[in-house]
Structure 1
Amino acid sequence: MEEKKITWLELFYDLIFVAAVSTATNVLLHVEKGEIRPEYFLKFVLIFIPIWWSWVGQTLFINRFGQDFLYQRIFTIFQMLFVLIMTASLSVNFDEYYLSFLFGYIGLRALTAIQYLVVQRFEEGDRKKVAQFFGTRFWIGIIISCFSILFDSWIRYSILYTGILVDILVPFLGRKYLVKAPSNTSHLLERFASLTLILFGESVVSTLYVLQPQKGDWDAILFSLISFILIVSMWWQYFENVEKKVDKSIKTSGQTIIYGHLFILMSLSMIAASIKLLYLNEVHYSFDLYFIFGSVCLYFMTTTIVFHQYRFSQDRLKLYHLVLFIGILASFFIINLVVEVPNVVIMGEMTLFFIIYAKLTTT
């Protein structure tokens, strides 16, 4: 497979999405009567999905057809402007900013579809078919989402997300083309790893910003230290696998990486939010438990699934590994339900789990 390196413009493009992801994460910090109401979880998901899919759309184009040409740079820069508009429109009070959000999102997706139509003129064979397929089919979801502007209330959002869902399903429908012109696995893994790294960094910065341990407050200092070790352990496990344990020469459509990372990235945001809530101690103990253990379990399961297909055969995890990891999480969870423990102990348990997870999956 042809070697493809990440460009500086791609990394710059990733940074623009940091504010968008941070805004989505902050939705999970709306605490009322000791818990986060279900509507905020729903809003978090509904905000996160367009962010993720907008980033994925351009990433997939660059992965197959990206070249450091002037016209492609200009397309990417214009997309960054639409990202800024979309990000500035993200809010839990979505109705007030709906038009500007829709303008930003539609602008992003339309530019991506146009890029496919432009590049198909220069391609041949299966690659030309892929470009034609995406360049025409992506407009279906875009047009459906545009019709949402004609309606109000829940109908508006139903139409918007119907269009987004259709957009997301397009690569599945075009799988017969994609397998003949596979994605560049090495570049795709690096691109998703770069966005994941930004989320890890955002977790560190936002966590330390909220904690702000005062001089002599050893409980806060200990909590900060354990939180940092937790994030480092997660980083170690993820990037050691990306760097050494996966076969980057595998030729696939890349859909496991693409769709699996939606849940990896969402779980990272949820873990960052749960760390803040554990420290602030503003939610009920039982809610804390379900939230952080659920977030960690989601991250563990999705990273396991995503990397399994691409691991070298001798490095693939066995069934007893899965039983062991789930057993550790289940044991901690049950013990904490029976005996109420300080929040710093819960953080210590999560850190121990990720240290074990990193050790057994990277050696």
Structure 2
Amino acid sequence: MEEKKVTWLELFYDLLFVAAVATATHVLLHVEKGYIHPEYLLKFVLMFIPIWWAWVGQTMFINRFGQDFLHQRIFMILQMLFVLIMTSSLSVDFDQYYLPFLIGYIGLRALTAIQYLVVRSLEEGDRKKVAQYLGTRFWIGIIISCFSILFDSWIRYSVLYAGIFIDIIVPFFGRKYLVKASSNTVHLLERFASLTLILFGESVVSTLSVLQPQKGDWDSISFSIISFILIISMWWQYFENVEKKVDKSIQTSGQTIIYGHLFILISLSMIAASIKLLFLHEVHYSFMLYFVFSSVLLYFIATSIVFHQYRYEQHRLKIYHLGLFLGILTVFFIFNLFIVVPNIVIMGELTLFFIIYAKLTTT
């Protein structure tokens, strides 16, 4: 497989999207009477998906057709402007900022679709068919989302996300083309690992934010140390697998990596929010249990699925590994459900789980 290196412009591009993800994650910190209202959970997901898909769209174009040419740099710089517009429009009061959000998102997706049409004339064979297919079919979802501006209330969002959903499933229907012009697995894993690493950084920021400047505040120091060990264990498990346990020579359409990372990234945002919420004690105990353990379960399932397909045969996990990990989470959850424990104990349990998860999946 031809070597493709991540460029500095791509890494700069990532930073802007992480700012958008951080803004969306902040929605999870809206606590009312001890609960995160379902409205905020839904808004978080609805904000997150367009951010993720806009980033994926450009990343996949670069993965297959990207070259460090002047015109492609200009396309990415123009996209950054639309990222800024979209990010500045992310708010709990979404209706008020809907138009600039739509302009930012549509601008991003339209520029990516145009890039496919531009590169189409430079390619041949299967690669030309892929560029033709994606460059034309992506416009279906883009146009449908544009029509959302004609409506109000829930109809507006239904039309917007109908377009986004169609946009997301376009690669599934074109899989017969995509597998013939497979993605560059090395570059793809490196790109998603780069974005994941920055989101791990968001978790570290959440951990540091609980440290108080008061002298002798050992509660916050202990909580931060345990949280940091948890994050390091997650980092160790993820990047040890990426670096040593997966066969990067496997050539596929990359869809397991792409769609699996949606849930990995969502769970990382939820875990980052959980760290802060656990320390602040603002959320009702039972709700906190469900929220925290759901976040960890989502991360565990998503990482297991993503890495399983690409692992070397001798490194693939067995069914009893799955039972062990799920059993540990279940025991901790049921124990905490019947016996109220301090939040720092919950963090300790999760840290122990991720230490075991990292140990058994990286040795």
Q: Please state which band the TM-score falls in when normalised by the shorter chain.
A: over 0.9
Q: Are 1:6 and 2:12 an aligned pair?
A: no
Residue of structure 1 in register with 2:194 after alignment: 194
**By how many angstroms is 1:214 displaced?**
2.6
Comparing 122-131 with 336-345, greater Cα deviation is found at 336-345
Q: How does 1:75-86 map to 2 (within 5 A)?
A: 75-86=75-86
CA contact (8 A) 1:230 1:350 kept: yes
**Residue aligned with 2:165, SS:** helix
**What is the aligned-residue identity percentage?**
83
Which whole-Å CA distance do the structure 1 matches of 2:231 and 2:201 have between them? 9
CA contact (8 A) 1:207 1:275 kept: yes
Residue of structure 1 in register with 2:43 after alignment: 43
Q: How does 1:11-26 map to 2 (within 5 A)?
A: 11-26=11-26
Which whole-Å CA distance do the structure 2 matches of 1:103 and 1:267 have between them? 27
**Letter of the 2:118 counterpart:** V
Residue of structure 1 in register with 2:74 after alignment: 74
**By how many angstroms is 1:210 displaced?**
4.0
Residue of structure 2 in register with 1:306 after alignment: 306
Residue of structure 1 in register with 2:170 after alignment: 170
Residue of structure 2 in register with 1:331 after alignment: 331
**By how many angstroms is 1:354 displaced?**
0.3
**Letter of the 1:184 counterpart:** N
**Residue aligned with 2:172, SS:** helix
**By how many angstroms is 1:295 displaced?**
0.3
Residue of structure 2 in register with 1:281 after alignment: 281
Unaligned runs of 5+ in 1: none
Length-normalised TM-score, structure 1: 0.99
CA contact (8 A) 1:211 1:276 kept: no
Residue of structure 1 in register with 2:247 after alignment: 247
Which whole-Å CA distance do the structure 2 matches of 1:184 and 1:287 have between them? 42
Which whole-Å CA distance do the structure 2 matches of 1:212 and 1:43 have between them? 30
Which whole-Å CA distance do the structure 2 matches of 1:214 and 1:132 have between them? 61
CA contact (8 A) 1:271 1:292 kept: yes
**By how many angstroms is 1:207 displaced?**
2.8
**By how many angstroms is 1:213 displaced?**
5.2
Residue of structure 2 in register with 1:229 after alignment: 229
**By how many angstroms is 1:338 displaced?**
1.3
**Letter of the 2:13 counterpart:** Y
CA contact (8 A) 2:140 2:163 kept: yes
CA contact (8 A) 1:48 1:266 kept: yes
Residue of structure 2 in register with 1:347 after alignment: 347
CA contact (8 A) 1:64 1:184 kept: yes
**By how many angstroms is 1:121 displaced?**
0.5
Which whole-Å CA distance do the structure 2 matches of 1:280 and 1:206 have between them? 11
Which whole-Å CA distance do the structure 2 matches of 1:361 and 1:181 have between them? 31
Length-normalised TM-score, structure 2: 0.99
Which whole-Å CA distance do the structure 1 matches of 2:214 and 2:322 have between them? 40
Which whole-Å CA distance do the structure 1 matches of 2:177 and 2:51 have between them? 26
**By how many angstroms is 1:161 displaced?**
0.3
**By how many angstroms is 1:211 displaced?**
3.9
**By how many angstroms is 1:84 displaced?**
0.4
**Letter of the 1:110 counterpart:** A
**Residue aligned with 2:27, SS:** helix
Which whole-Å CA distance do the structure 2 matches of 1:69 and 1:136 have between them? 23
Residue of structure 2 in register with 1:100 after alignment: 100
Residue of structure 2 in register with 1:357 after alignment: 357
CA displacement 1:261-300 (0-9 Å, x = unmatched): 0000000000011111100000111111111001000000
**Letter of the 2:58 counterpart:** Q
Which whole-Å CA distance do the structure 2 matches of 1:279 and 1:202 have between them? 16
Which whole-Å CA distance do the structure 2 matches of 1:239 and 1:113 have between them? 32
Alignment length, in residue pairs?
Answer: 363
CA contact (8 A) 2:16 2:83 kept: yes
Q: Are 1:62 and 2:62 an aligned pair?
A: yes
Residue of structure 1 in register with 2:154 after alignment: 154
**Residue aligned with 2:91, SS:** coil
Which whole-Å CA distance do the structure 1 matches of 2:67 and 2:206 have between them? 35
Unaligned runs of 5+ in 2: none
CA contact (8 A) 2:210 2:220 kept: no
CA RMSD, Structure 1 to Structure 2 (Å): 0.7
Which whole-Å CA distance do the structure 2 matches of 1:289 and 1:8 have between them? 40
Which whole-Å CA distance do the structure 1 matches of 2:6 and 2:172 have between them? 25
Which whole-Å CA distance do the structure 2 matches of 1:72 and 1:336 have between them? 53
Q: Are 1:132 and 2:141 an aligned pair?
A: no
